[in-house]
Chain A
Amino acid sequence: MAAILQTRGLKKYFGGLYAINGVDLSIEEGELRCLIGPNGAGKSTLFKLILGSYEPSEGTILFKGDDITSLRPHLRVQRGLSIKFQVPGIFLALPVEQNLRIALQRAFRGAALEQELERLLALIDLEHQRSELATNLSHGQQQWLEIAMAVALQPAVLLLDEPTAGMSPEETFKTGELVKKLNASGMTIVVIEHDMAFVRQIAKRVTVLHFGQVFDEGSLDDIVRNEDVVRIYLGKV
């Protein structure tokens, strides 16, 4: 299978600090990949480089075979990248429905938009809170709303930065099922996650980042067998 998203020798330094120090990442089409690693390993920075919030100091980013390294963020999104931020990035003062409409209106019109709106509301279980202001939702529901907004763009690659942060175990499990469902429908997904139960639930392949570099990569079972990974990140699993 061909890689849909690739980084080559990607580096980002803030002053003298290397947040990302030569990352070669290759995500295949249809893959569901987890990125794990200790705090400060550079996971979120990597996402921001891929989306263009940060400019890389060195290296290139390839998406669908094209070099997008110096493309403006909204153009990357228009090409099929989409992200759910670490901190919920929704329109808090607007109703749930309006949040989704704003996300949907680029790709859909008229009846198709209404249909897609209903589908997404059902997907995240917010049909009955559609007129509620987003700020009144629970933390977990806000996370789901943002996932739905990211999904509304019908991206080729969806990046999820800690989608289950602050969720109850039940909500976390539900999110896992949602992510698996999206992936099964053909969406390539990359997830940053700390919750190892969640990672076990969803991921086939895991990449470990440490000090801005790829430390290990493989199936979760391989990863937990690597004593160095256990030492730097997992502790006693």
Chain B
Amino acid sequence: MPRWLALLDGPQTLGRGPAFWSVFGVIAVATALLPTFVNAFAITNLTYFLVWVFMALGLSLIWGYSGILSFGQTAFFGLAGYAYGVISINLGDAGLWTWFALLVSLILPIVLAVVLGYFMFYGGVRDVFVGIVTLSITLVFETFMAQTAGPEWTIGSARLNGFNGMSNMPPLTFPWGESPIIFDGPAFFWLVLALVVVVYLGLRILVNSRFGNVLVAIRENPDRAEMLGYNVRLYQLLVFVIGSVLAGMSGVLYTLWGSYITPSSMGLTAAALPIIWVAAGGRKDLTATLLATVLLTWLSQQLAVKGNQYALIWMGAILLVVVLFAPEGLFVTLWKKLRGRKRTRQATAPKAVSSPSA
């Protein structure tokens, strides 16, 4: 096994060995086969839950692994979403233009994250102030986009449309002879699922690598990390950029999913939700974050569908309960409990065998 592949398991991720990876494989394959069993509506829904996973995993990396609480990942989400809208509406879906739009939409969050991150981390902004700065940015974006309702706010043929939101952007299209492949329905679902798997596995390798060791070191004790010779500010900047491009990926995929994006996707509520998913599952673990994100976005939707007006209040309540009773996060705590029980059973077993002879 190549060295980098061995990093899928390591000290910074829960779950390892044949048992874990078998379950992972079964779930991944079963999910991929779903379009043959369930109706199109269910697939569209499931795609929606998966779309948010990237932003959550990015936040887990920034906050859970590196100790930087960014409250404004939605700024990158919205920037990328709107960018895809503006570019794809102007360039259309001929040739590879939609993929070009996707690419540029992911580069813009990188640029924003580099500039913003440079000023924050090299300017000595720390702790809660990172949260305040990033939250301010996303709220400024929201406020700005909300006032673009007038006809004068157009870029080329794309109308920004203020708080009504922008719509009618073309889906990803791949030229294929007579009938181009349109990433819609199951095709889009498979694309998103494949991206989730690749990003999840890639991040596992990243956090268990030497780079990941340094991230955890910075989270635990930045002064010590620096006195071990690590350039703390550079690592913080890099991890902020990676997390932000992932938020951007969620933004583009969300825009593609509904062919729609609104300023409220960068608002206070939208900004708080990723924090709830990540904290509720267990911010210091990628798997816990992934599970919690799918589960909680599903739950929010169920509550909303059932006509419950208080879906958000439920989310807040879940966060409170988790913070009070399982501060490490629901899945991380459960995992450790189960592991602990298994270990005690193993530890007591030999004694039970030896006792009759005694």
Q: Do the two chains belong together in a single complex?
A: yes
B213, B220, B228 pick with most chain A CB within 10 angstroms: B228
| Nearest-Cβ distance from residue A145 to partner chain B, whole angstroms | 11
Residue of B nearest to A152 (CB): B228
| Nearest-Cβ distance from residue A100 to partner chain B, whole angstroms | 11
Q: Is the CB of B228 within 8 A of A106?
A: yes
Q: Is the CB of B232 within 8 A of A95?
A: no
Residue of B nearest to A95 (CB): B11
Q: Is the CB of A83 within 8 A of B221?
A: no
Contact of A73 among B214, B217, B226 (CB under 8 A): B226
Q: Is the CB of A102 within 8 A of B227?
A: no
User: What number of A-B contacts does a CB cutoff of 8 Å give?
Assistant: 61
How would you classify the secondary structure of chain B's contact residues: helix, strand, loop or mixed? helix
Q: Does A234 contact B (CB under 8 A)?
A: no
Q: Does B205 contact A (CB under 8 A)?
A: no
Q: What is the total number of residues of chain A having a CB less than 8 Å from a CB of chain B?
A: 26
Q: Is the CB of A91 within 8 A of B229?
A: no
| Nearest-Cβ distance from residue B238 to partner chain A, whole angstroms | 15
Q: Is the CB of B227 within 8 A of A91?
A: no
Contact of A85 among B223, B230, B231 (CB under 8 A): B223
A73, A74, A101 pick with most chain B CB within 10 angstroms: A74
Using Cβ atoms and an 8 Å threshold, which residues of chain B touch A102? Answer: 213-214, 216-217, 225, 228
Q: Is the CB of B221 within 8 A of A90?
A: yes
B 230-248 binary contact with A (CB < 8 Å = 1; else 0)? 1110000000000000000
A83, B221: Cα distance in complex, Å: 14
Q: Does B342 contact A (CB under 8 A)?
A: no
Using Cβ atoms and an 8 Å threshold, which residues of chain B touch A101? Answer: 213
Using Cβ atoms and an 8 Å threshold, which residues of chain B touch A78? Answer: 229
Q: Is the CB of B224 within 8 A of A73?
A: no
Using Cβ atoms and an 8 Å threshold, which residues of chain A touch B216? Answer: 91, 94, 98, 102
A81, B191: Cα distance in complex, Å: 50
Using Cβ atoms and an 8 Å threshold, which residues of chain B touch A95? Answer: 11
Q: Does A68 contact B (CB under 8 A)?
A: no
Q: Is the CB of B223 within 8 A of A74?
A: no
Using Cβ atoms and an 8 Å threshold, which residues of chain B touch A172? Answer: none
Contact of B221 among A73, A77, A89, A106 (CB under 8 A): A89
A 78-116 binary contact with B (CB < 8 Å = 1; else 0)? 100011010001111111001001110110000000000
Q: Does A160 contact B (CB under 8 A)?
A: no
Using Cβ atoms and an 8 Å threshold, which residues of chain A touch B227? Answer: 51, 73-74, 77, 82-83, 85, 89, 150
Q: Does B345 contact A (CB under 8 A)?
A: no
Q: Does A153 contact B (CB under 8 A)?
A: yes
A57, B220: Cα distance in complex, Å: 31
A153, B213: Cα distance in complex, Å: 16
A102, B220: Cα distance in complex, Å: 12
Q: Does B351 contact A (CB under 8 A)?
A: no
Q: Does B210 contact A (CB under 8 A)?
A: yes
Q: Is the CB of B213 within 8 A of A90?
A: no
Residues 134-153 of A contacting B (Cβ, < 8 Å): 149-150, 153
Q: Is the CB of B213 within 8 A of A92?
A: no
A90, B224: Cα distance in complex, Å: 7
| Nearest-Cβ distance from residue B234 to partner chain A, whole angstroms | 9
Q: Is the CB of B11 within 8 A of A74?
A: no
Q: Is the CB of A74 within 8 A of B220?
A: no
A83, B11: Cα distance in complex, Å: 26
| Nearest-Cβ distance from residue B328 to partner chain A, whole angstroms | 11
| Nearest-Cβ distance from residue B195 to partner chain A, whole angstroms | 30
Between-chain CB contacts (< 8 Å), 21 pairs: A51-B227, A73-B226, A74-B227, A77-B226, A77-B228, A85-B224, A89-B223, A89-B224, A90-B221, A91-B221, A91-B224, A93-B220, A94-B11, A98-B213, A98-B216, A102-B216, A102-B217, A102-B225, A102-B228, A105-B213, A106-B229
Q: Which 4 A-B pairs have the closest CB atoms?
A: A77-B229, A91-B220, A89-B224, A78-B229
Given A74-B231, A94-B11, A102-B216, 11 additional A-B pairs, CB 8 A:
A51-B227, A74-B229, A78-B229, A83-B227, A90-B221, A92-B221, A95-B11, A102-B213, A105-B213, A106-B228, A149-B228
